[in-house]
Amino acid sequence: MPPITPTAPLLSPQDLSSLERLRLVPRRKFAGIMRGERMSRQKGVSLEFADYREYAAGDDLRHLDWNILARLDRPTIRTYQDEDDLAVYLLLDASASMHFGSPTKFSFAQKLAAALGFIGLCGQDQVTPIIIGHGAGRTLRGRIGLNKLERWASTASANSLSGLADGIKSFVRSSAARPGLVICITDALDEEAASTVRSVGGRGHEILLIQVLSDFDIDPEIDGDLRLIDSESGPTVDITANAETIASYKQNLARHCRNVEQAVSIVGGRYVRAESSASALDFVTHNIRSTGAVD
C-alpha cells in the first residue's frame, strides 16, 4: 500500500497535554551517554540547561523558572542535562499482517508509537524510531523532535518485506544499539515471536512488548469452506470454518499469546495486549501506566 498521508497530526494538543507529564519507567538502570532527567550514578557532573517543560506535581521547586512564572503566570520547570539519559528504541512492526482490522492494527500502532515516543522526548531520553525490517531512523531528543517523530510514524506503511522475527534479529545484531528500553509494538503473530523476545533480553535490553490484535484476530466471524493465504509468506491452506475450527483457532491464539507473554516475563520485561479499536491515548494513560512502564 502507498505511504499514508495524514490530514491531521497523530497527536492532538489535548493528547500532548495529557502525555507530557508522564515519563518512561524501566525496571533497570542503564548507563547513559548524554545526560537527561534520570538520576546519574556519576558524581561531580555540571549542570547544563536542556529545556523547559510545564510544572508537574512533585517537581523540585528549585528548578522553577520564577521569571516565566511572574511574566506569564505559568509555572515552568527548567530541566538540566546533569543526569543519565535512557536509550529508547521504538520498534514499529510494519509487516503485512498489521494492515488487517478496522481500524487497522497498524493505524493504532502508529498513534501508540507517537504517544510513547513523545513521552520519551519529554523526559530527555534518546529516542530512536525503527520500522522493523527497514532499519533505524534518526535518533531524536527533546520536544523539538516531536514533528520528526510524528512524520516518521504517520508516513510509515504496513508493507515491510521483512517478518517480525527477521527484523528484530537484525536490530539485535546491531552493535550500534547500546542497551536500553526496547518498545516493540506488534501483533506478534509470528511463530518465532517468543524466541525473538528472548534474544532482545539476551542483548542486555529491557523490553516493553505491546501486542496489538484486531477484533477479527480475537473473534473471526467466518463460515464455510475457505482458502487462507499467509499475508507475509504466501502459503495457502484450505479449511472448513465451523464452531470446532474457530474454537481450535482461539485456543491456539491464546496459547501463542501466553508463550509470548512468558518470554517477555522471563527476560524481565513487560507485556500488555491491546485491541486496535481502542483509544491510543487511553491505552497509554491507563493500560500501560498500570504496568508501571510509564508514570
Looking at residue 138, its pLDDT comes to 85
Q: What pLDDT sits at residue 264? A: 96
SS3 state at 294: strand
Q: pTM value?
A: 0.78
Nearest-angstrom CA–CA distance, 117 and 140: 9
Q: Are residues 56 and 100 in the same domain?
A: no
Below-70 pLDDT ranges, the chain: 1-8, 31-50, 56-60, 80-84, 135, 158-162, 175-176, 222-241
Task: Assess if residue 6 is contained within a domain.
Answer: no
Residue 209 lies in a domain: yes
Quote the number of domains for the chain: 2
Identify the pLDDT of residue 235. Answer: 57
Claim to verify: residue 70 and residue 94 sit in the same structural domain: no
Q: What pLDDT is stored for residue 45 in this prediction?
A: 41
146 and 281 part of one domain: yes
Domain boundaries, position 268: 13-22+84-290
pLDDT tens track for 169-206? 888 887 567 899 999 999 999 999 999 999 999 889 99
Of 61, 81, 101, the position where a domain reaches its end is: 81
Q: Which residues of 34-57 are buried (b: 16+ CB within 10 A; e: fewer)?
A: ebbbbeeeeeeeeeeebbebebee
Q: Cα separation of 283 and 295, whole Å?
A: 13
pLDDT at 232: 53
Distance CA(218)–CA(221), nearest Å, equals 10
Q: What is the pLDDT of residues 23-44, one digit of tens each?
A: 999 998 876 544 445 544 343 3
Judgement on whether residues 137 and 166 belong to the same structural domain of the protein: yes
pLDDT score recorded for residue 71: 85
* pLDDT score of 159: 61
Residues 165 and 195 in one domain: yes
String of DSSP letters for 71-97: HHS--EEEEES-EE--EEEEEE--SGG
pLDDT of residue 63: 77
**Domain annotation covers residue 208:** yes
Residues 63 and 150 in one domain: no
Helix, strand, or coil (residue 290): helix
Residue 238 and residue 224 share a domain: yes
Q: How far apart are CA 95 and CA 111, in angstroms?
A: 17
Q: Scanning the structure block, which residue is given the C-alpha cell 467466518?
A: 222
